[in-house]
Amino acid sequence: MKRKLVMIGNGMAGVRCMEEILKRNREAFDITIVGDEPYPNYNRIMLSHVLQGKTEIKDININDWKWYEDNDITLFTGEIVTEIDPEEKEIKTDKGSVISYDELIIATGSSAFILPVNGSELEGVIGFRTIQDTECMIETADRYKKAVVIGGGLLGLEAARGLMDRGMEVEVVHLMPSLMEQQLDAPAAKMLKKDLEAQGMKFLMEKQTTEIYGNERVEGIKFSDGTSVECDLVVMAVGIRPNIQLAKHAGLDVNRGIIVDDHMQTSTPSIYAVGECAEHNGITYGLVAPLYEQGTALAAYLTGAKTTGYQGSILSTQLKVAGCDLFSGGKIAEDDETDAIIVHDQFAGVYKKVLVANNKVVGVVLYGDASDGTRLFTMLKKETDISEFTSAAVLQKAGEDAVDEMIADMSADETVCGCNGVTKGTIVQAILEQDLKSFEEVKTCTKAGASCGKCRGVVEGILSHTLGDNFDPTAEKTGMCACTPLTRDEVVAEIKEKGLQSPKEVRNVLKFTNEEGCPACRPALNYYMRMVWPEEYEDDKASRFVNERMDGNIQNNGTFSVVPRMYGGTTTGDELIRLGEVANKYDVPLVKITGASRVGLYGVKKEDVPHVWEDLGMRSGYAYSKSLRNVKSCVGSRFCRFGTQDSLGLGIRLEKEIEMVDTPHKMKMGVSGCPRNCAEVLTKDFGVVCVENGYQLYFGGNGGTEVRECDSFITVKTEDEVITMAKAYTQYYRETGIYNERTAPWVERIGSENIKLVLLNEKRNAELVERFNKAKNTYEEAWSSTLLNMKKKEMFEIVKI
């Protein structure tokens, strides 16, 4: 007969324990779960992504309602347990339910610690722990403008970033002189603060809150030094408090948390505790990795497996705030017993510190490049003897591939994805049993890398290590088309080195199998030639796709659309009259405002397209081309009460500066007047968010069938700097992109950090801008020539009359 297993709490640690129990013995227990939130089990780590607008609440469920049903789990949601009766072995709820148990697991988690100051009960003062908190913050951001986050730790910074992305002005109040002082040393914390300030985040350091004031709703905060700050929202991120009241009233031994032994057993044998509410060897944990380890250890014990139990955890931290890459594990500060290996590249913004004691790694602090984090942390946990390692490259073994060795040495139960608690063994088993071949397949199957994605390199390493010679990396060399085994980079290098002047010469000299080329290489070579020799090479329009040859998009019935340029969606009365006259003259069946805020003429007959352009006399909007299509912008400070800068003016200027120049694929840009992001710039190829202190720049976004959010780049102070960076970015894409490759996969292939290094190198930036301007001049000259020919034709027609 099945034993009755009841769990109070429906959070990450407890449900992980249930998953492990079901994996080991599905028939051991009749399971009941009681949760006080009205949701199935969800990933609290991803709440910051929900707040930042990267994902939605429905997408952060770990186990949906059907999972409980499929596993015969009785689930009570929105129900609060009010009493545990150890004598009768039953629990009672606020809705009158009485549930008996044989074994009870307390997984009540923790609550946000709210500072006990006057005014903490006011409306607008909240923690950041639940879906309800997150929804409240999102709703507040839609109605109010100014927020204060108290606490400069991991959670506080993620909350601040999310509120900024929602359009709020945010100040972070921190008691200590440096951010994340539990995870970062002073140099790394200083770099973090500088990068976050560049994103527009403001800080009030070494401030102690003494009062929150307001009538019914919060209006501001006062500090012990007599200063104050006004705000509409206060988010408390100063720590958590384990929920131990139920256990305490039931007579269980408690301290800061519910005291448990190595088997997660409380002072009452049939009652266990797991997660943030549990205290093991005097320590309570607030990070997900140790809580999953606790859940796994408890599952092994309850199902009768031979186990040493939970032995405690060494903590590591990664920050998921946009543009900031950090990793911390173990000790962070030197002492008399440790030596430090420090690499500090100020130019690249990279800081790496490894603390060593008795020839073993005891601490890791990485900022700017955390790619070594998993490898070094594995060495720390395994107490690897580092005598065979060289410190010159941050403990990479001389003459060997340290990453491959690290993956080979990882045990099956070692956690690879901390966000979702996925072990190496789970990944290897899925690869072998499900015949997985790529990172995306592993992510879908196991959830490894599905949250912050920082474990992708290790997951791909496990793929390579597991499949061996059968592993087919996506970066494997392939020819640019069926006519040649040469890659895009090799072809372009040969064009430059041999001074090849035409696509035909390229195909002959480089021995393409098809002398006439194919539909893939003809337009590609035409693009590469014009990119390499912008002043010497004459564009071969016959090699272009039909849309570009016709200066219009072909429609489903063989007709074309004609979309003239309207900078920033603006136009004039004369242009509108001309558009109307042309539409009537050529019987255009549809005149429509496009998604890019322009007037499009749809259904133009093929033979009429050249005449339509002639009669309009307007510059093309390039709605068909592989170049900048448009720059979407809001009205910004010209009219909007939230606008911080003239986004409309900057958008028009950006469009004029970048237009016409061919790129490997179409490009779209955007400028938002404030972080509310009305122009949706975070899914554009290049995006600008206007903030009080300048302009936040982003790149590599895509809003198509596969959405990719932009990578955060840098905050600049002037419009001129925006234009310079946009030109350099576009030119670098032109020179290194594969024809028909959007910027999103290009960024993934080249590497976001590599692109940043190039663009932030003053000399290389200037060279890219110079080459872009040189190319732009040739396109302007071609347009001027077209205009001149149109005027000559117009004069000839007048003389004829």
Q: Which residue positions form the known binding site for [4Fe-4S] cluster?
A: 634, 640, 674, 678
Residue among 191, 531, 607 nearest 369 (CA): 191
The β-bridge relationship of strands 218-223 and 228-230 is: antiparallel
Please report how the helices 456-467 and 439-446 are oriented relative to each other, as an axis angle in degrees rounded to 10.
Answer: 110
Residue among 348, 350, 415 nearest 378 (CA): 415
The β-bridge relationship of strands 3-8 and 29-34 is: parallel
In the annotated binding site, the residues are 634, 640, 674, 678
- HSE-up of residue 145 (Cα within 13 Å, Cβ side): 8
DSSP annotation of 224: T
First to last CA, the chain: 103
For residue 181, count other CB atoms closer than 10 A to its CB: 17
- Per DSSP, helices labelled H in 417-520 are 424-434, 439-446, 456-467, 488-498, 503-509
Rounded Cα distance, 511 and 517, in Å:
11
User: Residues 118, 199: contact at Cβ < 8 Å?
Assistant: no
Residue among 538, 585, 590, 539 nearest 560 (CA): 590
Beta bridge partners of 68: none
Place of tokens 């237009």: 659
What SS3 state is found at 637?
helix
Place of tokens 């449900």: 15
Rounded Cα distance, 482 and 777, in Å:
34
Rounded Cα distance, 414 and 512, in Å:
50
Cα–chain-centroid distance for residue 654?
Answer: 25
Question: What is the phi-psi region of residue 286: left when phi exceeds 0, alpha when psi lies from -120 to 50, beta otherwise?
Answer: alpha
DSSP 153-221: SHHHHHHHHHHHHTT-EEEEEESSSSTTTTT--HHHHHHHHHHHHHTT-EEEES--EEEEEESSBEEEE
User: What's the angle, vertex CA 144, arms to CA 143 and CA 147, rounded to 5?
Assistant: 140
User: What's the angle, vertex CA 504, arms to CA 500 and CA 505, rounded to 5?
Assistant: 30
Burial of 447: CB neighbours in 10 Å, binned 0-12, 13-18, 19+: middle
DSSP 273-324: E-STTEEETTB---SHHHHHHHHHHHHHHHTT-----------EEE--STT-
Rounded Cα distance, 289 and 420, in Å:
8
